[in-house]
Amino acid sequence: MSEKKAHLTVDGIDGALEMPVRSGTLGPDVVDVGGLTGRGLFTYDPGFVSTASCESKITFIDGGKGQLLHRGYPIEQLAEKSDYLETCYLLMNGELPNAEQKKTYVDTIMSHTMVHESLVSFFKGFRYDAHPMAMMCGVVGALASFYHDSLDINNPEHREISAHRLIAKMPTLAAMCYKHSKGMPFMYPDNSRSYSENFLHMMFGNPCESSKIDPIVAKAMDIIFLLHADHEQNASTSTVRLAGSSGANPFACISSGIATLWGPAHGGANEAVLNMLQEIGDESRIDEFVKRAKDKSDPFRLMGFGHRVYKNFDPRSRVMQGICDEVLGAMGAENDPLLKIAKKLEKIALEDDYFVEKKLYPNVDFYSGIIMKAIGIPTDMFTVIFATGRTSGWIAHWNEMISNPYKIGRPRQLYTGYPQRNYTDLEQR
């Protein structure tokens, strides 16, 4: 079939501009607008609502169908049958591992869980009440200072060991943030435990006694990491790609992803959900907040609802919804007042015309915040957990970009400032 073309006519420019149209395996076709600059034109798309920034084989999202595929596998099947480290392998390598490959991968990751002892001093420099995301931005970027032997981004082996180190060390650093905030001793990893059980051990264990982790909670933690692993070209992943396109080392790129994820419109939403529930405080005040969320003049938005891409239910939310009751039951938290407010808020939002018309369904952050609170994870650690899970997606996208021909990302702009004018001396101003 001949190549598809797009034809653009612009007032003031003779003739139609012809642009190639490319089709992917799934999803909308894309118009290659690279040649527009040569005709004195840029495209304009603030927020990149209609812009494909790259070609990728890692994750596909169909917002209308509520579909999320990782290397072709539906998220619902991975959540039911896979686990977080197997999904990390899939995102990075493109295929599910066989038994031998899986064992080798898990053993490799679990052999990199410790961090250099000097990192303990980094934490001593933070105030006792430093936000964990502030600490994570710092210590993850600083990891580059310990691995001078493997920062050649053009060396596939350096890229692989950096990916292993990041996936392995994020839980350790996350738990260190929590322990620092409590003034408690850091826990060393226990590599005889599974990845997610080890994280909970480092979070809630103490050197004076052995920690027993409820398998239901460990499984829920693993599913939370898995559901947050990757999500196409979201804001933080796009930041990691843009940082990587300059040739920056992977630790600096992941640190830039952490910084972007921190925002309440993105990964910070799970923390914002709990803060919102606390602000609502009582079921009797829910209607007041729903009214504010609909009020155009009020910047308040219902945290945990809506999504740029999903105009149907976020498939991750459905899985989260399923494990929510199981975890609440295991933790005896069914009657937690905040969680009861959450359940009532969910019911109202799913029935209210404003939210139904605007397709503002509960997103992944709505339920993950509730589950993490039930597990006993403090609210300010929620986005750190999100960053820990998303590190596998970030590094898979970074590796995919660096492994293929790429250019430094350098968007242009619509300039609406002053035309050229001459300097005015101070006496004349």
For binding to ligand SDX (CB under 6 A), which residues are involved?
A: 231, 234, 265-267, 269, 293, 301-309, 358, 360, 363-365
205 or 304: whose CB is closer to ligand SDX?
304
Q: Tokens at residue 204, please?
A: 């809630």
Gyration radius of the chain's alpha carbons: 23
182 or 358: whose CB is closer to ligand SDX?
358
46 or 417: whose CB is closer to ligand SDX?
46
Would you call 400 helix, strand, or coil by DSSP? helix
> Which amino acid belongs to residue 328?
L
Whether residue 11 lies in the annotated active site: no
Count Cβ neighbours within 10 Å for each residue of 379-410 and write b for 16 or more, e otherwise.
bbbbbbbbbbbbbbbbbbbbbbbbeeeeeebe
Nearest 5 degrees, angle CA 249-CA 140-CA 384?
130
Closest CB 85 distance from ligand SDX, rounded Å: 19
364 or 372: whose CB is closer to ligand SDX?
364
Closest CB 294 distance from ligand SDX, rounded Å: 7
Whether residue 365 lies in the annotated active site: yes
Which residue minimizes CB distance to ligand SDX? 306
Closest CB 33 distance from ligand SDX, rounded Å: 22
What distance in Å separates the CA atoms of residue 111 and residue 198, rounded to the nearest whole number? 12
Do the beta carbons of residue 141 and residue 252 sit within 8 Å?
yes
| Active-site choice (230, 307, 314, 397) | 307
Closest CB 293 distance from ligand SDX, rounded Å: 4
97 or 263: whose CB is closer to ligand SDX?
263
Sheet holding 17-22, edge to edge: 4-8, 17-22, 30-31
Residues 6+ apart with CB under 8 A from 89: 96, 97, 101, 102, 105
| Active-site choice (231, 365, 380, 397) | 365
Count Cβ neighbours within 10 Å for each residue of 273-297 and write b for 16 or more, e otherwise.
bbbbbeebeeeeebeebbeebbeee
Closest CB 268 distance from ligand SDX, rounded Å: 8
Q: Catalytic residues, which ones?
A: 307, 365
